[in-house]
Structure 1
């Protein structure tokens, strides 16, 4: 199994660890210390060694941070984790704080006196984060003090750093060789009159050099740093030995150096040096400033080229989604059969059974390299926990009359998948069907939309929410995130989100996943992956460049949960056309029993 069901932390571990941290704060004359969920590379996911926030507080979500003061400690989480954080932390020691509604600077200013000192690890915070925090706190007389990490001092069994070997990702699958990519970065630097770019994000480095790794669970990236010069030459800094198998692949223009050589190398480069203030650690800036190297702030030059997939990447991920869709349909057919048996009191099916079975069907493709994240299988009230991860302690039996939310994905050599389906276990209630249909209408709205060139995710996000808003409902997460190809299941800079201002461009892959969650009762989410394309021409349309979305995910949507009377004729047509396409594309790939299930599941409404 790629997924485990252990509980890495317990709420009762938090208070003594908090006490140990405060002892270190006192020794350093600090009034506060910041504990982000981040590593030195500032990627979204971190290795076990860097799970400092989880170790201290018990909170295991993929986003958040803690601010520890001498007399209180806040755990800042966004709307995805408001239910989860209350279950995972000791709320007598840690106070959950709604973020970004509550800004860290405001929270600190209300609780600290003038001349207070707040410590932070300069490798774990970006330039932009600390600049914003300093600007808000300095007028209050509160100072930010960079210091080596205090958690590392008190974590006695902290895991070793990851050291998985780096492998090559073929140019055939990537659609471009890495020399071509490096030359594109070099042209970007030349146009900006910059000499070198600093890369710290693992997925940028993996994309640029056409390499993959295993330093992060479920995300095939290596840890490392890189410098890319305006000549196209590059230096890659990784743990010694990790890159031995790709030296020939990298060639003479890429010098592989020990990871510990990165900091000294920064003091020797010739500026201007391009630094992304939104992803580069503060320490990178400090090292450059100390060496009096000219700095030019600018976006990581790999972000946008990586987001716009090549024809080879789109062809690969299209096939990966068909393969994954067949595995999902085999799973859903199995699930329906098992759910029907739950009318017998002697039968039992749990969330762990669901996760195990789904991974098994993906493994049967003989192409699965990993799951793309821990499968979310939330039954009944657990479905309302947006990023729920089942453990042996929380494992819940499925019950008839409830909903089951399954959000999962696979990592294949040719693509990364991410799909959510909410299914009825037994007969759903009228409220289940009404809420589900509103979510479905939002998902269809995104799928069907045409939009002018230049629009960003924030412009389209309301389309998915409008049916819920009319019923006084909403959801506390973005409508969609970017997705890589055999890379991160979460990828920037594009997103369907209220806060995202990056214009959408052809070749960008996004998720389309509106939802609705009722704490203590149920959760609903429906998710397909989509790719931006030029919109088909329309007779009589204005001469305006328009884009649309092509669907990548082909798996039935549970008809039992749809109130057809709530759908417009156009929405019914979209759903019936989608299901006909699922039957055509996926049916020939299925076993006889699953094919029979699919024929029923894709009947027109």
Structure 2
């Protein structure tokens, strides 16, 4: 259960692997090759056998790609990962600020006309390649589909995952697999579609009420599925994985090798999600002159809008997880006091991550972490998705800010919480920044909005207190969260680029932050769910929505500057802490209960 805090890649491995890739490309008549952080299922997480980007570059972030040319290798990473990329990669890989710099623009600046860049069509979506081809139009640079060139040189590539699948309880799902299949089939028929192709594991597992262990921290089975307009499903996955699951006579299981032949036999129109299906699937259908239509994955919306049973499970999981968090925070506070009192006391980031995991494990209900714990102290906290290793493990010192972002996978729900904790007295700048982040988190928590509002409309509420001081952060304010599925679930987001309307039952994170490179990082995160809200007296008679906060754990008020809070903000914080005490006290031993009461004193 416990994480192995050792580096899985080394910067010095990158240069010889890069030379081997360039040598392989010479034999294929191409000038470059694109290596995405993706697999054929196009989800956020990949199995170890598909960690091609990390194997080549050393970069282990969850988003990004590398374009290898004869004289340079551009590593495209967004604002969450720029510090991390510098630390993990050899100088042979040049970080490129993405999405500010588009890959087509970079290629036009670095590759002469007539250049050819190869890519694996299983690892890119039609949207990605369409955008790249549009950007290259008129440049004389072309793209070429080809076999994956990393696989050809990765001699010790791990085997594919082989964990068995298992049924997910219908009472926790709140709907039978048969009813979900009928729902998706009916949606296809309404849109005059004969079938749809699903490649993302969380959609398939949601649809069939199954779970597995094919991906780290994500309880899914990897596979492909064809859903027909009558609700029948052809599932393509190793049959031995599904031997213990009864999927019913309307779900036929086939090996992976049967997927391409099945695509070639489909009668159209076939609905495809252009942003998630591999380009190779579209190529096959077009080769067969099968009509296709581009529409969103039909599982996304019903999966995002949790059933009453899923919401009840989420509340239960957050109660359990909140109690574990309080025991951890009580322990960490005692450790911080020892650091201040005794200079010889040793506390490291790995100590913190391991103890937090032990607190969750002690609940007896933890199935796995929902992601590798982020435990960043001092300057490491400024690395947004920092992962501690034996090489980076830092010893805490008084005055540090300790950022801990973590979560658990429980059968009844998935949790994700971030708290930033003072390790002894901290400076006025840190407290002022913390308070502004807290104000942004409270603004989202208190938001009321009419139906039709998207996450892109609300994102600025979280940033406004920071903007007033000329501060900002380079990640979205919130992501969707699944029900014992992915801790990052679409389509809903709290992000300036999201146009998906929020709807009842959706679960999202609310996590503004602030990061000062080389000094400290701050993030405060609760999970919230969208609910109906009564119209205010005298307000417009329309549907109003609001957020219910699911996460229950104290926020470090020692970092709050009370005079910066408005009366409404102070009232929200005090009410939240009173709720935390009431809900969690019965679940705690006496020492943790006493600590919680003190930590939640009104400000």
Same fold (TM over 0.5): yes
Partner Cα distance (2:4, 2:507) in 1: 29
Partner Cα distance (1:133, 1:432) in 2: 42
Partner Cα distance (2:326, 2:207) in 1: 35
* Match among 374, 379, 382 for residue 384 of structure 1: 382
The residue that corresponds to 1:174 in the other structure is 173
The residue that corresponds to 1:191 in the other structure is 190
Partner Cα distance (2:293, 2:602) in 1: 57
Q: Please give the residue correspondences for 1:310-321 in structure 2 after superposition, counting only pairs within 5 Å.
A: 310-321=307-318
Partner Cα distance (2:540, 2:500) in 1: 24
The question of whether the paired residues in 2 share the 8 Å contact of 1:195 and 1:270 is answered with: yes
For 1:241, what is the secondary structure of its paired residue? helix
The question of whether the paired residues in 2 share the 8 Å contact of 1:240 and 1:259 is answered with: no
* Match among 567, 573, 581 for residue 575 of structure 1: 573
Partner Cα distance (2:534, 2:320) in 1: 27
Residues 263-319 of structure 1: CA distance to partner in whole angstroms, max 9, x if unpaired?
Answer: 110001111111111000010011111122111111110011100000000000000
Partner Cα distance (1:522, 1:320) in 2: 31
Residues 460-487 of structure 1: CA distance to partner in whole angstroms, max 9, x if unpaired?
Answer: 0000000000000000000000000100
Partner Cα distance (2:376, 2:397) in 1: 12
The residue that corresponds to 1:30 in the other structure is 30
For 2:401, what is the secondary structure of its paired residue? strand
Deviates more, 1:307-316 or 1:235-244: 235-244
Partner Cα distance (1:536, 1:570) in 2: 19
The residue that corresponds to 2:262 in the other structure is 265
* Match among 371, 394, 397 for residue 396 of structure 1: 394
The question of whether the paired residues in 1 share the 8 Å contact of 2:535 and 2:543 is answered with: no
The answer to whether structure 1 residue 204 and structure 2 residue 184 are counterparts is no
For 1:245, what is the secondary structure of its paired residue? coil
The question of whether the paired residues in 2 share the 8 Å contact of 1:2 and 1:370 is answered with: no
The residue that corresponds to 2:125 in the other structure is 126
Give the Å deviation of 1:345: 2.2
Residues 30-70 of structure 1: CA distance to partner in whole angstroms, max 9, x if unpaired?
Answer: 11100000000000000000110001011000000001011
The question of whether the paired residues in 1 share the 8 Å contact of 2:196 and 2:227 is answered with: yes
The residue that corresponds to 2:82 in the other structure is 82
Q: Structure 1 residues 206, 2: closer, same or farther in 2, change over 3 A?
A: farther
Give the Å deviation of 1:537: 3.1
The residue that corresponds to 2:344 in the other structure is 346
The residue that corresponds to 1:302 in the other structure is 299
Give the Å deviation of 1:544: 2.1
Give the Å deviation of 1:166: 0.6
Partner Cα distance (1:85, 1:577) in 2: 41
Give the Å deviation of 1:2: 3.8
Partner Cα distance (2:87, 2:518) in 1: 12
Partner Cα distance (2:39, 2:472) in 1: 32
The residue that corresponds to 2:370 in the other structure is 372
Residues 401-444 of structure 1: CA distance to partner in whole angstroms, max 9, x if unpaired?
Answer: 11000000000000000000000001111111100000000000
For 1:139, what is the secondary structure of its paired residue? coil
Partner Cα distance (1:489, 1:208) in 2: 17
For 1:548, what is the secondary structure of its paired residue? strand
Partner Cα distance (1:503, 1:529) in 2: 18
Deviates more, 1:470-479 or 1:161-170: 161-170
Partner Cα distance (2:418, 2:254) in 1: 41
Residues 338-395 of structure 1: CA distance to partner in whole angstroms, max 9, x if unpaired?
Answer: 1111121221110000011000000111000000000000000000000000001111
The answer to whether structure 1 residue 111 and structure 2 residue 119 are counterparts is no
The question of whether the paired residues in 2 share the 8 Å contact of 1:2 and 1:371 is answered with: no
Q: Structure 1 residues 537, 138: closer, same or farther in 2, change over 3 A?
A: closer
Instruction: Give unpaired runs (5+ residues) of structure 2.
Output: none
Partner Cα distance (2:285, 2:207) in 1: 23
Partner Cα distance (1:21, 1:227) in 2: 35
Give the Å deviation of 1:538: 1.8
Give the Å deviation of 1:135: 1.8
For 1:361, what is the secondary structure of its paired residue? helix
Give the Å deviation of 1:224: 0.2
The residue that corresponds to 1:329 in the other structure is 326
The aligned length equals 602
* Match among 488, 509, 529 for residue 486 of structure 2: 488
Give the Å deviation of 1:240: 2.9
Q: Please give the residue correspondences for 1:540-551 in structure 2 after superposition, counting only pairs within 5 Å.
A: 540-551=538-549
For 2:81, what is the secondary structure of its paired residue? helix
The residue that corresponds to 1:525 in the other structure is 523
Partner Cα distance (2:296, 2:259) in 1: 20
The question of whether the paired residues in 1 share the 8 Å contact of 2:511 and 2:525 is answered with: yes
For 2:315, what is the secondary structure of its paired residue? helix
Instruction: Give unpaired runs (5+ residues) of structure 1.
Output: none
* Match among 429, 438, 453 for residue 451 of structure 2: 453
Give the Å deviation of 1:536: 2.6
What's the RMSD between the two structures over aligned residues? Answer: 0.7
Partner Cα distance (1:287, 1:409) in 2: 40
Give the Å deviation of 1:491: 0.2
For 1:267, what is the secondary structure of its paired residue? helix
Give the Å deviation of 1:583: 0.3
For 2:218, what is the secondary structure of its paired residue? coil
Q: Please give the residue correspondences for 1:222-301 in structure 2 after superposition, counting only pairs within 5 Å.
A: 222-246=221-245, 248=246, 250-301=247-298
